[in-house]
């Protein structure tokens, strides 16, 4: 009995002939993302900006609007409140106060006095400017090293041209995710950095699957038109790619709607990453090979000619 397929096994969508359209769309997307980052900027969380973080629990469902009004009148600058987990649990973020640790402690005492004694203070943390700056640059370094390691891996597994195509697709995914966060004003924190790293891993997994089929077809069809070969490779792996993306999205949508506010931004980043990562693997990473002068001769030595016919094409895995 055959497994469930969202995509017919004999599908033949013209991805490679439409590559210019994909390139233009991606160029507009990346340009917009960079422009949003430079003009609007990111809404950095307490991890990168520094400040006070307090987790409180009330006896009954908390009135976020009333608490926001009360704390907003304390003159502490930006104060953000967020319900998470249960209606009685509230996360309070207060911007870093001018001065040292003493100034932060004074702000904490003001918050406690304003909220009164009927509140259980479960956690109070302070992130200083030096720590937040170190966290920011550690996050940038983590993403950069991950992309570099992926380049080396793809280079050794395939050829340098494949590695370059994969890095372009990964950079596209990372920049578009940052642009989306800048556009929507979502909080950018360490959880978001973790999401970006996860997106990179997911995207490269899709790209490697398609590249593996490209390499396999290069060995089987020595004289086949290169553009047609790439298009066939994408279509042969399309069912697997779509099935993987859909099942992953089902889990992420459950996290987004049911996981609570604490992981909402992380879940959103992952949902966007799965969608844009699938797109880049199919519409960027593979079409770029058309312009990178892939060495077909070295990969084809001693293998079958394309005279073998379509019946020798490896069947797509369910």
- 71-113 pLDDT, tens digit each: 888 888 778 788 777 888 888 888 888 777 788 888 899 999 9
Alpha carbon distance, N-terminus to C-terminus of the chain: 11
Shared domain check, 296 and 255: yes
Q: Please give the tally of structural domains in the chain.
A: 2
Answer yes or no: are the C-beta atoms of 2 and 318 closer than 8 Å: yes
Regarding whether 254 and 107 lie in a shared domain, the answer is: no
- Bridge partners of residue 43, in order along the sequence: 187
The phi and psi torsions of 163 (rounded to 5 degrees) equal -65, -40
Q: Do 63 and 176 share a domain, yes or no?
A: no
Q: Which of 195, 154, 151 is nearest to 176 (CA)?
A: 195
Residue 160 has a pLDDT of 84
pLDDT at 155: 81
Q: Could you tell me the pLDDT band of residue 261, with boundaries at 50, 70 and 90?
A: low
The CA distance from 4 to 317, in Å, is 11
* Domain-located, residue 191: yes
Same domain, 259 and 123: no
Could you tell me if residue 287 is inside a domain?
yes
Angle at 141 between CA 137 and CA 145, to 5 degrees: 175
Residue 235: name the closest of 162, 306, 297, 310 by CA.
Answer: 310
Residue 316 has pLDDT above 50, yes or no: no
Judge if 290 and 190 occupy the same domain: yes
- Band (pLDDT 50/70/90 cuts) for residue 251 is very high
In a 3-state reduction of DSSP, which class is residue 139?
helix
Residues 85 and 138 in one domain: no
DSSP run (H or E) holding 37: helix 19-39
User: Is the domain of 194 the same as that of 86?
Assistant: no
Q: Is 105 part of any domain? A: yes
Q: Given a cut of 60, is residue 305 above it in pLDDT?
A: no
Q: Tell me, what's the pLDDT at 45?
A: 77
Same domain as 300, residue 193: yes
Answer whether residue 136 shows pLDDT above 50. Answer: yes
Q: Which helix (H) or strand (E) holds 243?
A: helix 226-258
What is the model's pLDDT at position 79? 82
Indicate whether 5 belongs to any domain: no
Distance CA 110, CA 124 (A): 13
Alpha-helix residue ranges (DSSP H) falling in 40-75: 46-49, 64-72
CATH code: domain of residue 123: 3.30.70.3400
Q: Which residue has the higher pLDDT, 45 or 216?
A: 216
pLDDT of residue 297: 58
Say whether both 269 and 161 belong to one domain: yes
Residues 290 and 198 in one domain: yes
CATH of the domain at 270: 1.20.1640.10
């Amino acid at each position: 009995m055959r497994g469930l397929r969202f995509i017919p096994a004999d599908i033949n969508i013209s991805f490679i002939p439409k590559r210019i359209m994909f390139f233009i769309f991606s160029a507009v997307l990346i340009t917009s993302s960079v422009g949003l980052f430079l003009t609007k900027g990111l809404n950095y969380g307490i991890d990168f900006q520094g400040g006070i973080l307090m987790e409180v629990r009330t006896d009954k469902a908390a009135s976020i609007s009333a608490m926001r009004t009360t704390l907003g009148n304390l003159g502490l600058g930006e104060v953000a409140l967020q319900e998470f987990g249960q209606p009685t649990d509230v996360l309070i973020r207060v911007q870093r106060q001018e001065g040292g640790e003493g100034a932060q402690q004074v702000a904490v005492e003001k918050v406690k006095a304003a909220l009164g004694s009927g509140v259980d203070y479960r956690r109070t943390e302070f992130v200083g400017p030096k720590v937040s700056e170190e966290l920011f640059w550690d996050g940038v370094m983590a993403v950069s090293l991950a992309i570099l390691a992926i380049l080396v891996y793809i280079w050794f597994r395939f050829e340098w041209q494949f590695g370059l195509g994969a890095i372009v697709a990964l950079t596209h995914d990372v920049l578009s995710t940052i642009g989306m966060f800048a556009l929507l004003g979502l909080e950018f924190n360490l959880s978001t950095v973790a999401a970006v790293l996860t997106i990179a891993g997911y995207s490269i997994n899709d790209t490697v699957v398609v590249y593996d089929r490209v390499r396999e077809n290069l060995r089987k069809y020595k004289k086949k038109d290169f553009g047609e070969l790439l298009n066939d490779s994408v279509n042969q792996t399309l069912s697997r790619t779509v099935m993987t993306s859909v099942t992953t999205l089902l889990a992420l949508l459950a996290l987004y709607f049911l996981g609570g506010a604490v992981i909402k931004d992380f879940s959103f980043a992952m949902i966007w990453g799965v969608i844009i990562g699938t797109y880049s693997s199919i519409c960027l990473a593979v079409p770029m090979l058309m312009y990178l002068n892939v060495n077909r001769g070295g990969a084809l030595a001693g293998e079958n000619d394309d005279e073998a016919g379509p019946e020798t094409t490896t069947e797509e895995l369910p």
